[in-house]
Amino acid sequence: MRFRSPFCLGLALSLSLSLLAPLSASVSAQTPVPAQVPAPTPAPSTSFRDVPADYWAYEYISGLARFSVISGFPDGTFQPNEPVTRAQFAAILNQAFMSAQPFQVPNGRLNATQPATPPFADVPNNHWAAGYIAKARTAGFLSGYPGNQFRPNQPIPRVQALISIANGLGYQGGSVAELSAYRDAAAIPEYARPGITAARAANIVVNYPGLDQLLPNRPATRAEIAAFVYQALVKDGRAQPVAAAGARWNKTPITTLPTAAAGFSFSADGQRLLALTTDGATLQIWNTQTGALIKEIAAGDQTRFDGAAISKDGTTVAAIAQTSPTNTVELAAWAIETGQPLWKKTISRAESAIDGSQIAFSNDNQRIITFVNPQQDGASAPQLALWNTANGEAVQSLDTSGRFAISPNGQFLAIQIYPNDSSGRVDLWRLNQSGLFEYARTLPPEDVLFWGMNIVFRNDGLLNVLTRSPYDGLLVTWNPETGARVTSTGLPADRSDDAIGLSPDGDSYFFGGPVAGARLGSVKTGEVQDWPSGYRVAFSDRGNYLAILSHDPGEVWTLGRPTPFITIYAKTAP
């Protein structure tokens, strides 16, 4: 279900959240009106005197105001810390998600076509929000309490607001195990865990001041409801994502991992990192918070790992391995806690060494995607395929090849294609009703040489494509549903940059090279910071952790190169 009217959403927020001082179009401002009757407010302002620029929810509130989605009180305030009642929230849900049939306003009182659903015992037909509550109930957004009670005047807890949006809009995905990232996870009611998991996967959860504290049972405030609604707009592709309120990259690493890696990747919550050692002999799983080595998995004699990935829930690793002298290429998976193999499947007999490979898990952990590129003199062609995570059975082999990215909802696969003319393109494949990917479209080429390219699906489902010419970069955001270009942003790249990274939250990027050094930038603010050097980089799925493979510039190069290590950085709240 999609948002139908920003104006209606603004009306809902300005009416249902402004009940402390209602106005009526038919009477003067001095004439009292019944408190239960919401009434029109003036056109929304884009700023409020009690929401300064450094307020944690400023970007959510001002962003919705710019879209004419919310307004404040007549005195110029927004009153961001006031709680929202269940009746008020029902009105927001109606206007935001069920506004196809407009409400009528006879005699200055809001009314609605009464649905067939029986009313709650504590919501009489003449209650100002009776229509809103009944429709929200029928649509599956809200339910009641035992005894057919709705409790319309009770402040709605954060957990109820989040699962209401998740349930009503049909959000799915994520793993309940990920809730352990919250230090108050034990306070999440059992009934709410699937809904919070889905809301978290949809990226509509906003926490302040502690990013790792959900506060599930505390009443939701006007600012928090604005943040949830804004994130739902982002999920719908109608708003640009904002960085976590007040959060910025801390230049002091949270931990340093004493390992050299040919590749590495995070679990979805950033709590675990998988490193593939440079000799291809070992997979290492690290705790990013403590620096502890959790598990090591060895390739075995005459076998080397050429690519590896960790599942989103941090419980499984998968790797592409090649065994000499036959050059047999295999895909295998292991359980992290035990280190025991789960299955092993032969991909191909390449008859030559692998020239490049990539492997990743889908967001729901149900599929593993692999790309294997044998050396040019090999008998096998490059292959891109999908596999069942549970048993390793082949799901699909695509008639294409190239570096890839998969969308958060698993509906799109973006593949980098490098033709012989070196002008590069990105092909989009879409999941069909049979659960298989089929070619959808090719994104229009850019007027930039593809000296280097990085692609990542953002958490809101849009696709970021970064291309690099000799002296600058261009970040283009595409809507995979329509193939339309959303934005284009120039970035300060250098021809020597050989480390390039994009964060899935759509804001951060990393460039690193021997001439210009390492830089960590923000697309949203334009700020670029000099950063400790690095020649390989990875962001966590939520864009809140950054891993950089570096070396100590002061170390003496006795064996031709210094000892590398991986540093982990985090975005932190103020």
Q: What pLDDT score was predicted for residue 33?
A: 26
**Is residue 215's pLDDT more than 90?**
yes
Q: Name the more confident of 104 and 455.
A: 455
Q: What pLDDT score was predicted for residue 117?
A: 58
Q: What pLDDT score was predicted for residue 5?
A: 31
- Chosen domain end from 370, 399, 428: 399
Query: 54 and 143 share a domain?
Result: yes
Residue with tokens 């035990």: 338
* Residue 481 covered by a domain: no
Given pLDDT bands bounded at 50, 70 and 90, which one contains residue 555?
Answer: very low
Q: Name the more confident of 373 and 30.
A: 373
pLDDT digits (tens, 9 = 90+) for 156-204: 999 999 999 999 888 988 788 878 878 899 999 999 999 999 998 888 9
CATH (domain of 268): 2.130.10.10
**Is residue 223's pLDDT more than 50?**
yes
* Residue 53 covered by a domain: yes
**Segment 66-95 mean pLDDT:** 81
Query: 85 and 227 share a domain?
Result: yes
* Residue 515 covered by a domain: no
The DSSP secondary structure of 48-68, one letter per residue, reads BTTB-TTSTTHHHHHHHHHTT
pLDDT digits (tens, 9 = 90+) for 109-162: 333 444 455 689 999 999 999 998 998 898 888 989 999 999 999 999 999 999
Please give the Cα distance from 116 to 98 (Å, whole number). Answer: 16
- Chosen domain end from 355, 372, 399: 399
- Percent of the chain residues past pLDDT 90, beyond the cut: 33
Q: What pLDDT score was predicted for residue 336?
A: 96
Query: 84 and 224 share a domain?
Result: yes
Number of structural domains (the chain) is 2
**Is residue 209's pLDDT more than 80?**
no
Sign of the CA dihedral 395, 399, 404, 405? negative
* Residue 198 covered by a domain: no
pLDDT digits (tens, 9 = 90+) for 263-273: 899 998 899 99
Q: Name the more confident of 12 and 526.
A: 526
**Segment 59-71 mean pLDDT:** 73
Query: 229 and 315 share a domain?
Result: no
Q: What pLDDT score was predicted for residue 563?
A: 62
- Chosen domain end from 169, 203, 235: 235
Q: What pLDDT score was predicted for residue 413?
A: 94
Query: 316 and 364 share a domain?
Result: yes
Given pLDDT bands bounded at 50, 70 and 90, which one contains residue 11?
Answer: very low
pLDDT digits (tens, 9 = 90+) for 323-360: 888 778 899 999 999 999 999 998 876 555 555 688 99
* Residue 112 covered by a domain: yes
Q: What pLDDT score was predicted for residue 562?
A: 52
Query: 11 and 90 share a domain?
Result: yes
Residue-averaged pLDDT of the chain: 78
C-beta neighbour count of 292 within 10 angstroms = 11
Q: Which of 267-281, 342-356, 483-497 has the lowest mean pLDDT?
A: 342-356
Name the region of 107 (left: φ>0; alpha: ψ -120 to 50; beta: rest). Answer: left
Q: What pLDDT score was predicted for residue 535?
A: 77
Q: What pLDDT score was predicted for residue 561?
A: 47
Domain that holds residue 299: 259-399
Query: 229 and 302 share a domain?
Result: no
Query: 226 and 302 share a domain?
Result: no
Sign of the CA dihedral 477, 481, 483, 485? negative
The answer to whether the beta carbons of residues 355 and 376 sit under 8 Å apart is: yes
Query: 125 and 47 share a domain?
Result: yes
Query: 120 and 264 share a domain?
Result: no
pLDDT digits (tens, 9 = 90+) for 361-371: 998 899 999 98
Query: 326 and 231 share a domain?
Result: no
Sign of the CA dihedral 107, 108, 112, 117? negative
Token pair recorded at residue 29:
């401002």
The DSSP secondary structure of 353-372, one letter per residue, reads -EEEEEEEE-TTSSEEEEEE
Please give the Cα distance from 381 to 322 (Å, whole number). Answer: 16
Given pLDDT bands bounded at 50, 70 and 90, which one contains residue 34?
Answer: very low
**Is residue 16's pLDDT more than 90?**
no
**Segment 68-75 mean pLDDT:** 74
Query: 86 and 230 share a domain?
Result: yes
* Residue 423 covered by a domain: no
**Is residue 53's pLDDT more than 90?**
no
* Residue 179 covered by a domain: no
pLDDT digits (tens, 9 = 90+) for 425-467: 889 999 999 989 999 999 876 544 455 578 999 877 889 988 8
- Percent of the chain residues past pLDDT 70, beyond the cut: 76
**Segment 216-230 mean pLDDT:** 91
**Segment 470-475 mean pLDDT:** 78
* Residue 460 covered by a domain: no
Q: What pLDDT score was predicted for residue 56?
A: 79
Q: Name the more confident of 487 and 63.
A: 487
The answer to whether the beta carbons of residues 528 and 489 sit under 8 Å apart is: no
* Model pTM score: 0.60
Residues 6 or more apart whose Cβ sits within 8 Å of residue 353: 322, 327, 374, 375, 378
**Is residue 106's pLDDT more than 60?**
no
Residue with tokens 């009703």: 433
